[in-house]
Amino acid sequence: MFMFMTPCCCVEDEHGTLVEVMPSVIDDAALGEDVKQDWDEHVFDEKLKTMAEPVDLAGAVAAEQISKEPEAEAAPESEEALSVQGSVVVEEPLLFQRTTFDVDIEKGGEKLGMYFDLLDTNICLIKGLEKGFPMDKWNQTCPEEKAVKHMDRLLSVNGKTGTLSELIKVMQDKVPLKLHLQRPTELQVSLVRTTKLGLALDFNDTSVGVSITEVNHGPFKLWCEENEVSIKAGDRILEANGDKKPHDILDHLCKTPALNMKILTWP
């Protein structure tokens, strides 16, 4: 068994704010003894094989753990349409539909050729496909609306739901497979950080963006209420002010008053 984690520490940002960073742990034992042998075939992330060395920063960061909020910068004139709280920019109502589709695969004894994001193994997010394997071949012949894409969420296999390790076990069966998947919806969120964000976050060095683990009272929740959408635990912040790396996203969320974010949600 190998484990990746970093010790708990406190770092100080440019405003003198202390931020407590808790360790994030990826433990392959959570996948179960029956799945370990198929780690390379079904998780398929070569970067994971080189992650034995501790990473320098990875963890769950709650906005409430910031002991002193930085002073908010003055909003530019273009933001005069902000609400009284000065925290939400709303251009028009957002309407979302749950988009799901099915994939029927007969794979025999070979692997499907899918990479999964391992940050939250309670959900199954597809990180990529391996060329030449059944899922890649499916994409070459299927209708466009049924092509499996980056960050699609695997909901069930042959009618069975479960965690990543549980669904991997089902996909090992040498039987025809029916995969039920869901497309993500992309949100553009713009707000001014004049108070606590109300978010708890998690990430690691190989994760796609930063995962939201809690949404509490604050600008994010207000934005959701005014736009009648749900940003919830399990959703991902892909970008913050144009930066995509998890460390850079976190840095903006901790230090930058004006935030422009790209968020993926699965309604």
Which CATH number fits the domain 73-95+185-265, given the four candidates 3.40.50.300, 2.40.50.140, 3.30.565.10, 2.30.42.10? Answer: 2.30.42.10
Nearest one of 177, 187, 244, 193 to 82, comparing CA atoms: 193
pLDDT of 21 reads: 40
Please classify residue 130 by burial: count the beta carbons closer than 10 Å to its beta carbon, then call 0-12 exposed, 13-18 middle and 19+ buried: middle
- CATH domain 100-182 topology: Pdz3 Domain (2.30.42)
pLDDT of 152 reads: 97
Those residues with Cβ within 8 angstroms of residue 218's Cβ, 6 or more apart along the chain or in another chain: 63, 195, 196, 197, 198, 199
Kindly list the domain boundaries of the chain, sorted by start residue.
73-95+185-265, 100-182
Predicted TM-score (pTM) of the model is 0.66
Residue 19, H or E segment: strand 18-21
Taking residue 102's Cβ as centre, other Cβ atoms within 10 Å add up to: 11
pLDDT of 96 reads: 55
What length is written for the chain?
A: 267
**Cα(220)–Cα(238) distance, integer angstroms:** 15
Nearest one of 47, 29, 27, 49 to 205, comparing CA atoms: 47
Mean pLDDT by 10 residues, the chain (267 residues): 36 40 40 42 38 35 37 35 33 59 90 94 95 95 96 97 96 92 94 88 94 92 87 95 96 93 94
Asked whether the domain spanning 100-182 has the same topology as the one spanning 73-95+185-265, the reply is yes
